[in-house]
Amino acid sequence: MPVLVIFIIFFFSFYVYYKIRYVRAQRPMERQFYSAKSSTALGLFVALFGINQLFLYQTTVTYLISAIFIALGFGSAWAGFRAYRHYLPQAVEEAEKAAKQS
């Protein structure tokens, strides 16, 4: 399905973008914030890749591996989203403190 391929490329691009932002970030909470966002993007990439494989091949092995990819992907995306919600207020507070010091 071409729509899934577009979303797969989209989420992989966001994963790379947030990993680059993570490496370039200086403040600790900002780094954790970008790490959480990249984890969410990577999880969605893996889950959509597993879903896409279900449409391409219809074998028992594909079903098993796709189920693992989907479960790991959505689990990682959920954990990343929870971390994102946790670190967002702390990252905002850290950015405000840094802005006041400048």
The per-residue pLDDT for range 41-88, each reduced to its tens digit, is 999 999 999 999 999 988 999 999 999 999 999 999 999 999 999 999
Structure confidence at residue 2 as a pLDDT band (50, 70, 90): confident
Joined tokens for residue 43: 């999880």
Euclidean distance between the first and the last CA atom of the chain, given in angstroms as a whole number: 50
The answer to whether residues 33 and 87 touch, using CB atoms and an 8 Å cutoff, is yes
Domain ranges of the chain: 2-101
Joined tokens for residue 80: 């990343």
Percent of the chain at pLDDT > 90 equals 88
Structure confidence at residue 101 as a pLDDT band (50, 70, 90): confident
Q: What is the pTM of this model?
A: 0.89
Average pLDDT, the chain: 94
Structure confidence at residue 22 as a pLDDT band (50, 70, 90): very high
